[in-house]
Amino acid sequence: MQGVIDGVTYEIPTHVAVIMDGNGRWAKKHLMPRVMGHRQGGKALEQACEDIWHLGVKYFTVYAFSTENWKRSEEEVSGIMDILRKYLATAAERCNRENMRMRVIGDRHILAEDIQSEIHRVEEATKQNTGLQFTVAINYGGRDEIRRATAKIAKEVAEGKLDPNEINDQVIADHLDTWELPDPDLLIRTSGEERISNFLLWQLAYAEFYFTDVLWPDFKREHFIEAIRYYNKRERRFGGRK
């Protein structure tokens, strides 16, 4: 869909996904402990939800904690979990004020019980909201998601509910955590790394990728506009020819 930003007409990506990288480096740069970088990253995320909605984006998905992030120090992992707890405590109220729906993807079953129930509460409290469709990936890994989807499909086949000859792309997509979401049109990764690090492996098949050196806590509205400008220079062919 087209939208006007600061007087200029752009094609606005429907779904933007972000790998919020660089919190640790931001903290180091400011001579602070790593967890302060994540705290600042959490603040940047709240502002980003507002900014991206006003730019005309309908779906926004962010990578907050990967299946590999457990390997970090216990201090850092518990610091991130505490930021998440605080965020969830006020999320329902904030989302409802802005008509925003929040979902969580990833395998939540190994998260602390209180975090699981808070996630459930926020998802339920915001499910009627028709504004920004905001999704947070927590204990998420693209391969793990595909593994879990495969197990669900295998179970349905074994129970005689699904014919193996009927398994197509749509059936697989319908068993992923993102079954309710369209595929991302644009992936942004901050802080200079150019990898997808196991994020949305299936869903990013045709997305445009935008990489920037800006560290996530410093990422602002103007940087989203820069990414949308870049997106508008791409010619999307989805494997076909124009």
Binding site for ligand FPP (CB under 6 A): 20-25, 38, 41-42, 45, 64, 69, 80, 83-84, 87, 136, 191
For residue 172, the one-letter residue type is: I
21 is catalytic: yes
15 or 175: whose CB is closer to ligand FPP?
15
Q: What is the DSSP-derived secondary structure letter of residue 234?
A: S
Smallest distance from ligand FPP to CB 230, Å: 22
Q: Assess contact for 101 and 132: CB atoms under 8 A.
A: yes
Smallest distance from ligand FPP to CB 193, Å: 7
Q: What is the DSSP string of 64-129?
A: EEETTGGGS-HHHHHHHHHHHHHHHHHHHHHHHHTT-EEEEES-GGGS-HHHHHHHHHHHHHHTT-
Helix 221-233, helix 34-54: angle, nearest 10: 60
Smallest distance from ligand FPP to CB 76, Å: 8
Task: Say which of 6, 21, 99, 144 is annotated catalytic.
Answer: 21
8 or 68: whose CB is closer to ligand FPP?
68
Task: Say which of 6, 51, 69, 163 is annotated catalytic.
Answer: 69
The closest alpha carbon to 78, from 111, 107, 46, 109, belongs to 111
12 or 52: whose CB is closer to ligand FPP?
52
Q: Is 136 helix (H, G, I), strand (E, B) or coil?
A: strand
**Which residue, judged by CB position, is nearest to ligand FPP in the bound state?**
24
**Rounded to whole angstroms, how far apart are CA atoms 218 and 164?**
48
Smallest distance from ligand FPP to CB 84, Å: 5
12 or 49: whose CB is closer to ligand FPP?
49
Beta strands 15-19; 8-11: pairing state = unpaired
- Catalytic positions, written as ranges: 21, 69
